[in-house]
Amino acid sequence: MELIDIVWLKRDLRLQDHAPLAMACQSGRRTLVCYCFEPSLLNDPHLHSSHQRFIVESLADLSGQLKQQGLSLQVFWCDFITLLESLSENFILQNLYSHEEIGVMSTFQRDQAVARWCRTHGVHWQEIPQYAVQRGHRGRSGWRAFADQFLKQPCCQVQLKQLTTLQLQPEHRAYSLKCQQLPRLWLSRNPHYQPGGEQAAQQQLQHFIDERLEQYSFHISKPHSSRQFSSRLSAYLAYGNLSVRSVLHALKPLPASRHRRAFYSRMRWHCHFVQKFESDCRIEFEPLNPAYQRLLAEHQQQLDPVQQQEFFTAWAEGQTGLPLVDACMRALLSTGFVNFRMRAMLVSVACHHLQLDWKSVALHLAQHFLDFDPGIHYPQIQMQAGMTGFNTLRIYNPVQQSLKQDAETRFITEFVPELRDFPTALRHQPWLMTPLEAQMFAEFAEGYVKPVVDIQATGRAARERLWRWRESPAVQAAVPRLLRTQVSGFSAQQLASAQE
């Protein structure tokens, strides 16, 4: 039987700066370049049809690029181990090349099963990092130097002219596993969402550098203008249409500016947060600081479950009666995007003002963030929900955010059209309407819901509760260990101070 190699694509849907592909090009063997839609993973609660649509668009882009080189991409509808078993009936599997995936528990368990299969069957699986992340590293010692070295390395050159791809034939067992038809919802283009694909990603990056970078810092916190002036690269990074390293290299020739520095630092933060998740992946299910587990459980028992479900539904559907909160949620539901500050506000309102269970909040947002990346998502959820014991406590007031970040209410009026005919001041706080104004705008006032909570009262209660929890001995006892594993460059002096 013929010796073959496999390149397994996951969250790395690109051709450039792709080490697994580069290694396959050098092997001299025919290579199966493949992606699997795995039935065992399709029910993962983080997934949404918008994610699958983005993947399908990315695969179509990759397939088109490879065809121009006389090469092929094979897409399968089966679990990856099923594919390996079927291939092994007709071929000798020599090398399996892939990038490391820093994913949720379901993909981690899948990877563990693949590793066992490869060991049992003598297949050499080479997993290559695609982020500045140290696999299995439990502390932050040495991470900064590692990240500097990794990100400064030149982008990996993929010599596709040296690659020969394997075309399966009907007589091959694995041929029957090829994807024949995809769900219609995955195939319908939604013009309100960014399109997937490496070429779309490169166009977005170039346009950002040429046209928008020098406005970046002025707009990143504003929900309306951030849609135009932020990089809008996050989805392309989440699905590997671009590598972090290639984006940083694209910045190198540019002159120094505050905007370039701000964007560069955020790109570095990307790997910083993914490393946090890799170092403690239990935060998908548990508070980072274990002392919060009991505190949150006891607090949830004191709440009315019926009211909590009503609050969750109102928050998740953009019907809280808090204009900026509702505008952000409706924008997310219809476009898959809101900027970072508004994401933090959504979490804060949900977990602090409405006192919702953080895991339900995390899953809802994961489903609707087009750029959902577990390594970014869960560390940020933990921080914004106040479950670390050492990060700054942020209890966002959505009215203050509205007045500061959407002063002219352009964002609010776009996504909460019920308020368009109100004066600007009332679009921020419609509950402040006087009796006379209520008569003047009676026709419109009925179209928008009343606030589900008094944001001033819930803010005061949240501050008292969160600071009381944070200062508890159990929370503080866990902080020194967490600082060692979660904070890069934490000094011995800072550690001693934290232990006092």
Please state the residue numbers annotated as binding site for FAD: 216, 230-234, 263, 371-373
Nearest-angstrom CA–CA distance, 80 and 111:
9
Amino acid at 446: E
Q: How many CA atoms lie within 13 A of 4 on its CB side?
A: 22
Amino acid at 450: K
Instruction: Name the token pair of 30.
Output: 């025919």
Token pair 């040429």 is at which residue? 210
Q: Which residues pair with 36 in a beta bridge?
A: 76
Q: Are 72 and 167 in contact (CB under 8 A)?
A: yes
Please list, residue by residue across 251-272, b when 16 or more beta carbons sit within 10 angstroms of its beta carbon and e when fewer do: eeeeeeeebbeebbebbbebbb
Q: How many CA atoms lie within 13 A of 47 on its CB side?
A: 18
Of 213, 216, 215, 226, the closest CA to residue 401 belongs to 226
Strands 124-128 and 91-99: parallel
Strands 91-99 and 2-8: parallel
Distances (CA, A) of 60 to 73, 142, 332: 9, 40, 25
Q: Hey, is 462 helix, strand or coil?
A: helix
> Which residues neighbour 128 within 8 Å (Cβ) at sequence distance 6 or greater?
19, 20, 23, 97, 98, 99, 100
Q: Which residues are annotated as a binding site?
A: 216, 230-234, 263, 371-373
Q: Are 179 and 77 in contact (CB under 8 A)?
A: yes
Nearest-angstrom CA–CA distance, 105 and 127:
18
Please list, residue by residue across 317-327, b when 16 or more beta carbons sit within 10 angstroms of its beta carbon and e when fewer do: ebbbbbbbbbb
Reported as type and span, the H/E element at residue 51 is helix 49-68
DSSP characters over 287-330: -SSTHHHHHHHHHHHTS-HHHHHHHHHHHHHT-SS-HHHHHHHH
Nearest-angstrom CA–CA distance, 412 and 432:
17
Instruction: Name the token pair of 236.
Output: 């392309």
Nearest-angstrom CA–CA distance, 500 and 490:
16
Nearest-angstrom CA–CA distance, 10 and 38:
11
